[in-house]
């Protein structure tokens, strides 16, 4: 089995958790060895817009996952300074695909995952990520280094997860995941980058 965990918390950004949840569940349709769990510190977490969901497990499950995806939300500003929270993670970017949306990068930064590489985050979190000693790329919506990816702007999750699933499986399965959510009449124009912004992927340092 391959396991993907979506890390949620109180006041998570709705679309960050639910877009990842929807996309990753599409991978399951043709890949019965794939499992997706929303994990957190509680049995239930409520989104910033007020949707309460049951989690499928605790954050420690990330330590055994093939793919770990950190959502964003105002709570990240507390969590990345919370040692009790951080100490529950024992992630290994040599063996796991690890990625974050927007301010979720602060948690990756605090965990040391981004040490020595570049990253992106939502503009409102640029300074905090920099303060962790991370070189922030401000005009890319997705920045990847080997197994580590960061993305900025909710809809960039499509490209981030496209990249991640290509790493976990292959390009065909990644594109299968994305093609069903694309507006009718649009195409995946190149490798990933369905949104086709000026810079879609960077590997610096």
Q: How far is the CB of 89 from its own copies (least distance, A)?
A: 24
Q: How far is the CB of 96 from its own copies (least distance, A)?
A: 23
70 scored as a contact of its own copies (CB under 8 A): no
DSSP for the chain, written as a single string: -EEEEEE--TTB-HHHHHHHHHHHHHHHHH-TTEEEEEEESSSEEEBTTS-EEE-SEEGGGGGG-SEEEE---TTHHHHTT-HHHHTT----TTTSEEEEEGGGHHHHHHTTTTTTSEE---GGGHHHHHHTTPEEPSS-SEEEETTEEEE-SGGGHHHHHHHHHHHHS-HHHHHHHHHTTSPTT----SSS-TT--S-------
Shorter beta-carbon distance to its own copies: residue 49 or 131: 49
Shorter beta-carbon distance to its own copies: residue 91 or 195: 195
177 scored as a contact of its own copies (CB under 8 A): no
27 scored as a contact of its own copies (CB under 8 A): no
203 scored as a contact of its own copies (CB under 8 A): no
Among 2, 10, 53, 173, binds its own copies (CB under 8 A): 53
What residue ranges bind its own copies (CB under 8 A)? 13-15, 18-19, 21-23, 25, 49, 51-54, 120, 122-123, 138-142, 151-156, 158-159, 180-186, 195-199
């Amino acid at each position: 089995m391959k396991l993907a965990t979506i890390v949620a918390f109180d006041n998570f950004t709705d679309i960050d958790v639910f877009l990842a949840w929807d996309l990753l569940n599409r991978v399951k349709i043709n890949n019965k060895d794939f499992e997706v769990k929303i994990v957190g510190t509680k049995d239930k977490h409520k989104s910033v817009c007020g949707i309460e969901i049951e989690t499928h497990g605790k954050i420690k499950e990330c330590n055994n996952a093939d793919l770990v995806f950190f959502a964003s939300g105002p709570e990240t500003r507390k969590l990345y300074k919370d040692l009790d929270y951080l100490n529950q993670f024992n992630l290994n970017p040599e063996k796991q695909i690890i990625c974050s949306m927007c301010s979720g990068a602060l948690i990756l930064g605090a965990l040391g995952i981004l040490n020595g590489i570049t990253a992106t985050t939502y503009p409102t979190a640029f300074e905090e990520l920099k303060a962790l000693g991370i070189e922030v790329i401000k005009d890319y919506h997705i920045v990847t280094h080997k197994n580590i990816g960061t993305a900025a702007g909710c809809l960039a999750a499509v490209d981030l997860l496209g990249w991640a699933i290509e790493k976990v499986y292959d390009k065909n399965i990644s594109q299968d995941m994305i093609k069903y959510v694309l507006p009718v009449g649009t195409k995946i124009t190149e490798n990933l980058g369905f949104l086709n912004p000026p810079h879609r992927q960077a590997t610096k340092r």
